[in-house]
Structure 1
Amino acid sequence: MSVSEITVGEGAYGVTLRGEEVWTTLVHTGVVARLAGGEVERLDLEAPESRPSVMVTAPDGAVWFTRSGDNSIGKIVDGVVSKVAVGGSPYGVCVGPDGAMWFTVMDADLIGRVGADGVVSEFAIGTAGGFPAYITSGGGDLWFTLNAGNAIGRMAVDGVVTTYPLPTEAAGPVGISAGPDGVWFVEILAGQVGRIGRDGVITEFPLADRGAKPHAVVATADGGCWVTLWGSSALVRLDAAGGVRETVALGDGAEPHGLAVADDGSVWVALEKGSVAHIQPQE
């Protein structure tokens, strides 16, 4: 694997791909950056306290992102930024099975939905103090991590929630991503990667470094996943059986957070130190 970096500004956090473009949020400065053709364009949200965080690209090409600092969901279309107010501090966001944008509200124990008409609906998860974090779509449902509730949540599009407690106590689940054979998630406090099947069965895979602080995860087409290790400044790839197949060092102090996998198999990772790393397979 070869690793290259592009400087984008302090606090790179979320990543999403839009065709040949790479988008990232700069969580500390209220800026969204776009990488295209080797050039970096920064869009100032004119709200330094907005804390743009997790990003996703909609099927129509619009870029959506959570603004955890000013209780809203941001949207960028043709360089124009807009936002939708929500009922608390949002964090995770994904395209749902119904084509709408779904998001978590960390401090209000809610899952929200923004429809094509811009109407916001919010659903209680039924777990007080659960602190829902990342969210993903898989098998016709929404799946999300309950960071403080130590569980995985599953929500149907009608708002019905099922909760699956984790086998490991105080594991602190954060990232989550649906794959072809189940849903991958990470446990930042336990140093483990987990997978939950459609039947609700959970399997946990301890990392060699239990202090690596796995943060974000993206499932891959072969049944495995990529995981950022915030605490050890690295990236790892797991196979479908949960075995670590590759480890990519990103340098001391990199603080990797969000990541995205391109169609060519390369990986883009946001490094909080101020850059986006591009990891490419060797020819």
Structure 2
Amino acid sequence: MRKYPVGDGGPYAITTGPDGALWFTLVHGGRVGRLVPGGEPVFHPVGDGPTVITAGPDGALWFTEFKGHRIGRITTSGQVTGFEVPGAAPFGITAGPDGALWFTATATDRIGRITTAGEITEIPLPAAGMFPSAIAAGPDGALWFTLNQANAIGRVGTDHTITVFELPTEQAGPVGITAGPDGAMWFVEILAGQAGRITTSGEITEFPLPDRAGRPHAITTGPDGRLWITEWAGNRISSITTDGTVTSEDLPTPASEPHGITTGPDGALWTALEIGALARISPA
């Protein structure tokens, strides 16, 4: 594992851009960073509380501003545009199968859709206080999202139909979610210390992690076919196979606070450490 310092500001989410670079948010610093592996980071001021970032279908990067109540767009050359979503506190964002971006509006209990031209549509959830969190495109042409306070996984089709699946474990607190290599969606439960799997028909399986107090936060499918997880309180990175075998690696620096994780342009796993660095992990 190798660390790349990127300064103060709280590195939070990370993704690979279409330009072969890593793009990451500095949630406390109001900036988005760009790092070519082996090079020096470049920073762009963007707004208030940039949170989750993803590659868009238009060759740009799209991100949420949880505090600023905006969806942001940044080109690979650093041009920034913002789109207001009043009072929404957007958090998760992902590219959908319909050429638009889909996001979660945590404060207004809605799922949002924004076109690359900036046109926003919001879809109300079935109840108040569900707190939609992360969102990811599924293999079935729908968007899947975690409902942190409702203790459930949600699905929204491009026809705006919403389905909710309750988790077997009470007060599990689902957060990160990703499409797995097995045709199912995988997620993590920050309060229960578990990983979960949900099929496109809604069948849920949960896998306890060795440290139930590790507070798993983000999850991604790695280049090796495993699911990779950041454990924020456990100060470690873990992986889980599709049959439930878990392997863990402690981070060398105490209290690193790992958050986002992605496969980088170099085929390695990269994670954002809130202490002020990105870390490169070579899958064993």
Indicate the TM-score class for this superposition, using the shorter chain for normalisation. over 0.9
Shift in Å, 1:64? 0.7
Q: Pick from 197, 215, 218 the counterpart of residue 216 of structure 1.
A: 218
Normalised to the residue count of structure 1, the TM-score between the two structures is 0.94
Query: How many residues are aligned here?
Result: 277
Displacement of 1:250 in angstroms is 4.5
Which residue is equivalent to 1:79? Answer: 78
Flag the structure with higher strand content. 1
Q: How far does residue 61 in structure 1 lie from its aligned partner after superposition?
A: 2.1
CA distance in 1, matches of 2:56, 2:171: 34
Question: Match for residue 157 of structure 2?
Answer: 156
**Which stretches of structure 1, 4 residues or more, deviate above 2 A after TM superposition?**
219-224, 245-251, 262-265
Residue 117 of structure 1: how far off its partner (Å): 2.7
**1:38-97 alpha-carbon deviations (Å, 9 max, x no partner):** 11111122x4xx110001011332011100111001110121011111141100000011
Q: CA deviation at 1:221?
A: 6.0
Structure 1 match to 2:62? 64
CA contact (8 A) 2:257 2:273 kept: yes
- Equivalent residues of 1:110, 1:122 under 8 A apart: yes
After TM superposition, the structure 1 = structure 2 runs for residues 53-132 of structure 1, keeping only pairs within 5 Å, are 53-77=51-75, 78-87=77-86, 88-132=88-132
Deviation at 1:7, TM superposition (A): 1.1
**What is residue 28 of structure 1 aligned with on the other side?**
28
Match of 1:177 in 2: 178
* AA at the equivalent of 2:175: V
Query: TM-score scaled to structure 2, two decimals?
Result: 0.93
Aligned counterpart, 2:209: 207
Q: Aligned-residue CA RMSD in angstroms?
A: 1.5
Residue 258 of structure 1 is matched in structure 2 by 260
Shift in Å, 1:239? 0.6
Flag structure 2 segments of 5+ consecutive residues without an equivalent.
none
Mapped contact 2:20–2:265 kept (Cα < 8 A): no
Aligned to 1:226: 228
Show structure 1 runs of 5+ residues with no match: none
Residue in 2 that maps onto 1:168: 169
1:20, 1:280 → 2: CA distance?
Answer: 18
**Residue matched to 1:15:** 14
Secondary structure of the 1:107 match is coil
Partner amino acid, structure 2, of 1:224? R
1:150-192 CA-partner distances (Å, limit 9, x unpaired) = 0000000121100000000000000000123200000000000
